[in-house]
Structure 1
């Protein structure tokens, strides 16, 4: 029997949903948090953001981030405000993107609270944001960027290394050495044939694997995303409509623009105006341009993307888009319609059957994007019900997450099976489906951990 140690891994989030990535590692008197994400989607999950953090923030010695998306980083400003004063380690790309995402998140949270106060739509007399833009800016002072493959000694026998994950700029898998045990966190795995990012690095031999399972119960469509995108654009443009593409500001917006520029360069879509209406996406695209070694885009492709899209920066410019007619294409955040400028465009154009809304990525349960996918004919936006008569199209092949087949093939290349694989970052059906596939196809031990469960990395069960 393996001797027990003082090391522990606790699942503080992402165990019964895609969001809320938070994993606590304890060893040798040290406490390290892997990811510090927001819960998103269903209100039951979002309410967890308002609960006291499961451990005292001041008791944490360090935070490591897999990548910049808010379900992995978005709670960090609250953690710092409430007492965490240690270093936040991330790749250079992740640190730069967080300098955009976190202040914007704080601003939007403040806007939501102000809106609820004015409309008296909250059950609280004086609704307050989870944190402010100022809190977010303060949290950025804690960042300590590190290179891929640079070992970080965290004390207590814990050493960490960032390993490329694909997915988005800066995204990392995290390999931890905890005493004699190797624990590997996938973060969000990218795809082998992603048009934007390089593939995730293959898995090495580890004792414990904590793997994402966002698409664990499905495979992406094999259709050419450019062919699908081009068909929708030609169809809607011919009837004078507006195409609204909700896209995550980091990663997905760049991919959509890349496909649109290729279609335009080949003359496969008409020369209608294309607007990138997300200041964050505009700035993120510039960050991608500074980190060309991490992705597939060439300078010529960046120039083509910039020549294609008109960059919308101000609120007034954004409002004017809703007053002009089609045909035109608007790419705007957020990708799951949880907030941002895209909501104003859905409110303006969603009721007209000449128009189209193209969904380009995962839609977490409880979001407006998920409601569109299941065929809801109204969306609640800014306190009113907006009828949806526009054509709704999902292009699943644009996803930046590895699907079930791709995750299995990534695991299959490992030189040895982990003692245990824990499946996280998935809704219950997808996590359990991937668990069954891993057991059947690979013969590995795998299970779905419970929320707040604690395990011993030296004797995983």
Structure 2
């Protein structure tokens, strides 16, 4: 097989579920697929502060699979450091990034200022990676596209966004480089999901780059509402405050949908529910504008609005901490990495009557992962906070395809890829999926190393 001049380099999402970044180089052009933040363990987060592996000014364009920060959150820093190309995304991803990226910059500014004021940073003058203004400048570089529309990027290079489920606007990206077709799965959704339509089956490519978040496990088959209802009923009966750390986009909307349906059927008491995330509030409105991407009815969308009291201001958020249960507080962030939920955890986490409901994937090294693993002291605001509340995990609420669903998604491939690279997973998950692909599908497959560069095949010769 002859080799083209095209290469693929893995700048992130190797050995971790965060920091999704893939660099394509071909005939003097540089393209970046995803530009995410590293999250979790400190040695990963420190990569956000390191020099970008290539000069940002030398990158011609960025293609974004979806809006979550582990895929989009480094974009303002890239622009701040000299990137002047276009950022290509679906229309919904563009709208959601308009919420996520400025909020990320704002939170970083707040955290830096708080650390400076309280003196718990090792730096005398801690600075954010980027500011809210940097994020606003980054958003001016976006170009929004429809699913399946051809996007011409350079001579001999084009892209197409393919529905991936998982999140509003989420896409797999089919990139044609010369005669080689590369498919980046992005984050794939579930075959059956209360919010999103399933991902489109894999139609084949010369090279596949596939996520493996849940590559070593399968999801519980239980009904999410059957799982949620008894927890809410029991908590309400003892007057508990239920704190639900939730991703503001996707998970918060799903939780409100299930709570609304349960309340309508009389399966949970009418305890107060608060959505304490301005971003989640705005994201819910975006879901209402894009019914073509999900299968939630207009009536159910209305129920999502009516089930919760929306908390907008900081003062309103603080006032929740002076209330008593029973009540439910849904608040970002989903992995307890920052945001208003930490203040609720500080206020209510010490009472054993209360309940903390973990509702999504917890990346290693995050407070959420520590809490889910049994930790009862969490480092927050420069000190240790004791957690005595009950902790429970909602196993059926994942927005990611599990190992069986990933394999099923691949089975329709025609042509079968000549090379498959497994990324965006913890080491155990990535290697488990690699073994299954090799054993069950017979494909050539491996897990790449961080910063590894591989040659892309000439598709016409494959």
TM-score, normalised on structure 2?
0.98
2:357 match: 358
Residue 421 (structure 1) shift: 0.8
Residue 384 (structure 1) shift: 2.0
1:37 match: 36
Residue 459 (structure 1) shift: 6.7
The 2-side partners of 1:6 and 1:438 are apart by: 28
The 2-side partners of 1:174 and 1:158 are apart by: 13
TM-score, normalised on structure 1?
0.98
Retained in 1: the 8 A contact 2:206–2:415?
no
The 1-side partners of 2:199 and 2:191 are apart by: 7
Structure-to-structure mapping, 1:341-380, within 5 angstroms: 341-380=340-379
The 2-side partners of 1:392 and 1:416 are apart by: 46
Retained in 2: the 8 A contact 1:244–1:356?
yes
Task: Verify: 1:152 aligned to 2:151, yes or no.
Answer: yes
1:204 match: 203
Structure-to-structure mapping, 1:196-345, within 5 angstroms: 196-345=195-344
The 1-side partners of 2:441 and 2:288 are apart by: 39
* Partner SS state of residue 421, structure 1: strand
* Partner SS state of residue 101, structure 2: helix
Deviations for 1:320-348, whole angstroms, at most 9, x for unmatched residues? 11100000000000000000101111111
Deviations for 1:365-405, whole angstroms, at most 9, x for unmatched residues? 00010001110111111122111111111112100000111
Structure 2: gaps of 5 or more residues? none
Retained in 2: the 8 A contact 1:247–1:253?
yes
Q: Give the aligned length.
A: 460
Task: Verify: 1:62 aligned to 2:61, yes or no.
Answer: yes
Deviations for 1:169-188, whole angstroms, at most 9, x for unmatched residues? 00000001111111000000
The 1-side partners of 2:425 and 2:143 are apart by: 29
The 2-side partners of 1:294 and 1:285 are apart by: 13
Structure-to-structure mapping, 1:187-202, within 5 angstroms: 187-202=186-201
The 1-side partners of 2:387 and 2:456 are apart by: 49
* Large movers: runs of 4+ above 2 Å: none
The 2-side partners of 1:350 and 1:38 are apart by: 28
The 2-side partners of 1:223 and 1:208 are apart by: 35
The 2-side partners of 1:182 and 1:354 are apart by: 55
The 2-side partners of 1:307 and 1:4 are apart by: 58
Structure-to-structure mapping, 1:158-169, within 5 angstroms: 158-169=157-168
The 1-side partners of 2:159 and 2:65 are apart by: 12
Residue 135 (structure 1) shift: 0.3
2:95 match: 96
* Partner SS state of residue 5, structure 1: strand
Task: Verify: 1:130 aligned to 2:139, yes or no.
Answer: no
Task: Verify: 1:457 aligned to 2:460, yes or no.
Answer: no
The 1-side partners of 2:306 and 2:376 are apart by: 36
* Partner SS state of residue 456, structure 1: strand
Residue 265 (structure 1) shift: 0.7
2:49 match: 50
Residue 417 (structure 1) shift: 2.0
1:113 match: 112
Give the superposed CA RMSD: 1.1
Residue 252 (structure 1) shift: 0.4
The 2-side partners of 1:431 and 1:211 are apart by: 10
